[in-house]
Structure 1
Amino acid sequence: MRIGQIVPSSNTTMETEIPAILRGRERTLPGEQFTFHSSRMRMKKVTKEELAAMDRDSLRCAAELADAEVDVVGYACLVAIMSMGLGYHRTSQGALHARMKEEGHAAPVVTSAGALVDELKLAGIRSISIVTPYMPALTDLVVDYIKDQGIDVIDSIALAIPDNLEVGRRDPMALVNDVDRLNTRGADLVVVSACVQMPSREAIPVVEDKLGLPVTSAAACTTRSMLRALGLDPVAPDAGFILSEAAKAAAAASSEDIQG
């Protein structure tokens, strides 16, 4: 299966974390094999202006990935989508899918922004606390976006790192101490990285053990959405709650409640 990603030019994390998660899955399901293919949009500083300019380039990336006939596409920049207006992930996904269809290969498209809210809601999560690397104003946009999608945000930490390369170089295990400053009282789950550039994969199980709460990241949620789009069981080992059998069971129970 060919995994396509649309990534900011300065993103160094999504092409490492998603493959690492899916390589772990391959070890438990040796009949599966994934390859990874990316197209890049220019962006260096995480500012609203650069994010908007970058987003305009996403259609070119979709066309390039259509040429590779990938099986699914993930738009790998959460804040770019959330800074464009409430509910914009649906607009983006529709436009990218339409462009791929025009190019003769209509693969399913997910966005990391849509994946975060969709996968949490599917798993029955209604309240969260989050850590972001963004400046406070962008973090506020992310919080408002998530709340608009029906998920309460109990607390947020803005690490205020404007340089996207610096975000990608951050030690993921620093998050283990960062959560000491996070109010998690009343939260169903902690999003330890509400950014697909801030590394977090290694920290997720450690923070789960520390807090005694489900923990996930934007990258893990994106992986789950990709697996569902491929028609595959949305689980992977050592990747936290959202890719666990517990989340799968919660999603199944939620679906039964809706149908009932």
Structure 2
Amino acid sequence: MRNYRIGQIVPSSNTTMETEIPAMLNARRELFPNETFTYHSARMRMMSVTPEELTAMDQASDRCAIELSDARMDVMAYACLVAIMAQGNGYHRQSQARLQKAVQENNTNIPILSSAGALVDSLKEKNLGKVSIITPYMKPLTQRVIEYIEAEGIRVHDSISLEVSDNLEVGRLDPANLLEHVTRLDIDGVDAVILSACVQMPSLPSIQKAEDKIGKPVLSAAVATVYQMLKTLNLETRVPNAGFLLSGN
């Protein structure tokens, strides 16, 4: 048996990543019974998804990384996509390097990734160069996410903004509704659909259903985070019923 410690740096109002990440990794037990995972989080204050709160929250990520490194994680993820993307194109590289330096100064060498980096890196790795996305954000923030993704060389063909600014309410959105939202999304000619370009908007129960419904790869920021975590841990990138990215193909 091998146990892996999974660390997450999350907004204080996030209620989804500590649900969906364990759900995906625990679902691997039927495939890989010798793996076990434990889950550990540190929190940054944030209630409303506004540029001002996102910037203030991001400044607390160093403290969170250091606190988690005290418990010697095997991998850590900065689990807030928009907090990274709101800071400017390519910021995930700067953030990850800064957090890596912080934990190294704490005498550890824990690999650190981010949900923002995981999403764009996974799209590029799988040659998914044209996507349509669904976000819970207000339209200006969705546009910021689109600009960030496109700066990484990925074209965003269409988007839907659900316009929910209260982060707690985002976490209460019914993932089943995404199966209706995806039918309103223009997916003509796209390589993939990002069903939730937000780690707080629940989507995991609908990922495989949406993929089966539209016949195209479907993923989320949370799915991409798990994919990159598994790669970092040198584990097979397979989770049952979690869509193309975690199919092992």
* TM-score range relative to shorter protein: over 0.9
More deviation in 21-30 or 80-89?
21-30
Q: Are positions 1:141 and 2:155 aligned together?
A: no
Match of 1:190 among 190, 193, 200: 193
Match of 1:64 among 34, 49, 67: 67
Normalized per residue, the structure richer in helix is 1
Match of 1:22 among 12, 21, 25: 25
Alignment length, in residue pairs? 246
Alpha carbons 2:62, 2:102 under 8 Å: kept: yes
Residue equivalent to 2:16: 13
Structure 1 Cα separation of the partners of residues 49 and 87 of structure 2? 13
Q: Are positions 1:169 and 2:156 aligned together?
A: no
Alpha carbons 1:208, 1:240 under 8 Å: kept: yes
Residue equivalent to 1:231: 234
Structure 1 Cα separation of the partners of residues 100 and 228 of structure 2? 15
Q: Deviations over 1:156-198 (max 9, x none)?
A: 1111000000000111111000112110011100000000000
1:51 positional shift: 0.3
Q: Deviations over 1:117-168 (max 9, x none)?
A: 0011111111100000001001000000000001110001111000000000
Structure 2 Cα separation of the partners of residues 17 and 139 of structure 1? 22
One-letter amino acid of the counterpart of residue 133, structure 2: I
Residue equivalent to 2:163: 160
Structure 1 Cα separation of the partners of residues 103 and 209 of structure 2? 39
Q: Counterparts in 2 of 1:1-260, with a 5 A limit?
A: 1-246=4-249
TM-score of the aligned structures, taking structure 1 as reference length: 0.94
Q: Which runs of 5+ in 2 are unaligned?
A: none
Structure 2 Cα separation of the partners of residues 227 and 2 of structure 1? 12
Alpha carbons 1:120, 1:242 under 8 Å: kept: no
Structure 1 Cα separation of the partners of residues 125 and 164 of structure 2? 31
More deviation in 35-44 or 116-125?
116-125
Q: Which runs of 4+ in 1 moved over 3 A?
A: none
One-letter amino acid of the counterpart of residue 24, structure 2: I
Alpha carbons 1:143, 1:153 under 8 Å: kept: yes
Structure 1 Cα separation of the partners of residues 214 and 237 of structure 2? 24
Please state whether the residue corresponding to 2:204 is helix, strand or coil: coil
Residue equivalent to 1:258: none
1:245 positional shift: 2.0
Alpha carbons 1:108, 1:229 under 8 Å: kept: yes
1:225 positional shift: 0.7
